[in-house]
Structure 1
Amino acid sequence: MFDPTECLAGLPHLPGVYRMLGVGGEVLYVGKARDLKKRVSSYFQKTQLSPRIQLMLTQVASIEVTVTRSEAEALLLENNLIKGLAPKYNILFRDDKSYPSVVLTGHAFPRLALHRGPQRKGDRYFGPYPSAHAVRESLQLLQKVFRLRTCEDGVFSHRSRPCLLYQIKRCSGPCVGAISKADYARDVERASEFLLGREQQLLSELERLMLAASETQAYEEAAFYRDLIQKLRTVQERQFVESGRRLDADVVAVAAEGGVVCVNLTMIRAGRHLGDKSFFPQNAAGHAPSQIIEAFLAQHYAEQAAPPLILVNEAFESDVLAELLTSQAGRRVQIVSRPAGERRVWLEMAAKNAQLAIHQRLSQQTAQQERLAALREVLELPDSVHRIECFDISHTLGEATVAACVVYDALALKPSEYRRFNIGQAAAGDDYAAMREALTRRYRRLTAGEGKLPDLLLIDGGKGQVGVAREVLADLGVNDVEVVGVAKGPQRKPGLEILVFADQRKPLQLRADHPGLHLIQQIRDEAHRFAITGHRARRGKARIQSLLDGIPGVGPKRRQMLLTRFGGVKGVRNASIDELAKVEGISRALAEKIYAELH
């Protein structure tokens, strides 16, 4: 049992971060304090500790501290340590993807697109948005109204006639000169004004142009402006949450029910509702709602600047966090827990969305529990079976073979644990050898302690593939993993799958509406999707390289220069001899040779 006396005696009355360590040196909990001595001592002096804290203290073997210059600096360090160490008793929000934005590129004819990651100089960015779906909705809207190009540079530079988007009035055709540079720049500025929330100024300008066109009897032009104004007003009515004000705010609400905790984030930019996103934190059970909100804000805004206003449905001591977010954003950030009027309605809406997300999560969990229980029963598996892995092989006539492994655990698919294997040793088209190579590579690592073995292994295939899996596991000394093959029925239709076993049991065909079969289909289909995606990417890359590799005089350096200059092999194929000859290192004779080979 850990004796804190000596540790507490040496703690300073200074701000900093403390770490509770287990017997093996693993970090159990990370916390911040305005006064390290008082905060850490409180754990061993209070009698009314929560069950979660009591359990944690029974596992503590030592405590480490780091002194900081201020409480705000301690908060920042605490958040970085939580994200890096993922302690089992800290609230942890996992969201590895960066938030998407709308970008208008800095080209002569700017491109409208979805963007993630670092921002490039010369481009203009609008957002962020809570999801890629929200960005795509905005892009579709902007295409309808302003008709800006969305095509890649390689396609744009080598078109000889307008594409389908031009025909359906979703693009003004700058690639073929259907619109002047000045007129296109005007549309870009109008789109920018719209994205910045300056609709009223834009509407006023369009109304002026419509009246001017009408007075000069340019009725087609007047009708164009009229239709544009109607579209913008429809959008304005649908998306604005606070009329007349270009407000940037995030609305954050927490809800808990049935052991599930959810935080809903609603993003409002330039007075426009951009959408919402729900988060389900780990290790949140037993924490107060205010602690969950504080943890979310600290972790969420560690990677991006906070908006000027953050509305929360649980009050907490936010001065230190607001100071930190203000410092990071370079402008004042307010955290408000008791808003009035319309903003209170936003908060209630976010809380309702959090509750709806919880109900959906609980409903899905119940369905998955029923499916897993039905599968255990029909396969005569113990109740301890909960982790399932599934393998699938994908190739095109033996070309670019890829094996995929997907993981199902804790009643859900686990994309972060998926793995792909580029098959190189097996002969082209030999599915058995490909499966053997993939299984060997996967489970040799797991038996070495690099991960968890599954309780059930599904193989997309029949008796031959199952036999290979059984041999591989036996060679590696793995004897407690059940192996089941999922063979397609005679007509290869969903619901007619036949389950093939590694032992002497007869193949089994479940009825089409069996819950256990639905779970198998869900996992098998995900493995199939994951394998095909990897195969197509590998095949495309291999074909691009081989297409240019076969041309005498085009080595790796020249190939790379061609692909970079024309934006891919399609652009190279569409380039003329004169354009090819302009690439550094490509002579006129070599350009003619490349052109001839590609055509």
Structure 2
Amino acid sequence: MKSITKKIPNKPGIYWFSKKGEKIYVGKAGLLKKRIASYFRTKDPRIFEMVGEADNVSFKKAGSVLEAVILEANAIKKYLPKYNIKEKDNRSFVYLVIPKEDFPRPFIARGREVEKYASKNNVFGPYQSYRILKIALNLARKIFPFGMCRPNQGKPCFDYQIGLCPGICVGAISKKDYQKNIKNLTLLFKGEHKRLFKKLKKTDPEAFYALKHVQDVALISNSKIGNWKLKIGNSVQRIEGFDISHLHGSEPVGAMSVFINGEADNSKYRLFKIRNMENKFDDMAMLSEILERRFNHDEWGKPDVVLIDGGRNQITAAKNVLAKRNIFVPVIGIVKILGHSGSAAEGDKLYFQNTKPSVKKILLTSRQVLQQVRNEAHRFAISFQRRKRKI
């Protein structure tokens, strides 16, 4: 059985150990080959017992780690593998609950609570970790925004201001449009991913792209964020990402995302409406404007790395702004490289200028975090554009 690992790809997905065709354990992985191979090297007596009982191991690839997390939960619910159930009683599992209301506010329930919600709500799970489900839900919320506030409460909530709530608090979204987001969220957590992708490709290309290329290292066991903290020490704690968004020159806006120790800090995100409309078709001029305005705020602190959505020209423009203020931190460019089918190639191209080799090495090995920084700045800018279109 150990020899099967040679045929397994290092892609996200789920795997299962079987005995006489019956699944006895289901798991998820960010890297299938690496994860499955680890079972044959372990000295943990519980895992040793399970592997010894199994006579086969199989896998199913997923489009992302988020998809793998959801597939794992659905497989556990369907097959009730004995080693998954043995690890926990039902009380220690967690479930996603989406109320059947006009403006539902999804929440997470413990296993001991789930029975009281089952009849009047949509319930998804079981999930083995509250933390993982919380991260998955937050990640999904960035693609399909939903509110955690009271509908029509009269004043905008904080999540509305950072693009996570579509505005149920201030009546900025209709019941029909809100239910579309909830329907997509439901399809996602049901595991009906092919149906969802097909639908989004026709109706919402931005959401289709975001879901197709979603990455969140915190969803992976032995998270790379933990490794990130171990590797960098105190050299790279705060990364700021910048993105420009506009619709054919109208309503141009710059967005700033902030990651602290490899994790997003939404409270520090900022939007910059472009003031000099003579530059509305000049991305580098707009980038220079938002950087000048950002670095007028000493009270926000100084980043250890600035990440720009763009290449060498954008890096030069950014460095010129920072140099005027005697700020000398690494400025990195990131450019999406498309494959033959138009999909994103694995790992976008990174551009460096005069970056210390030690810092460059850290950042090159933490590419997924940099992709997240860029994706968050882009999402934040786009969410603002969407709100403006609805007004």
TM, length-normalised to structure 1:
0.28
Task: Work out which structure has the larger RCO, using CA pairs closer than 8 Å and 6 or more positions apart in sequence.
Answer: 2
Structure number with bigger Rg: 1
TM, length-normalised to structure 2:
0.42
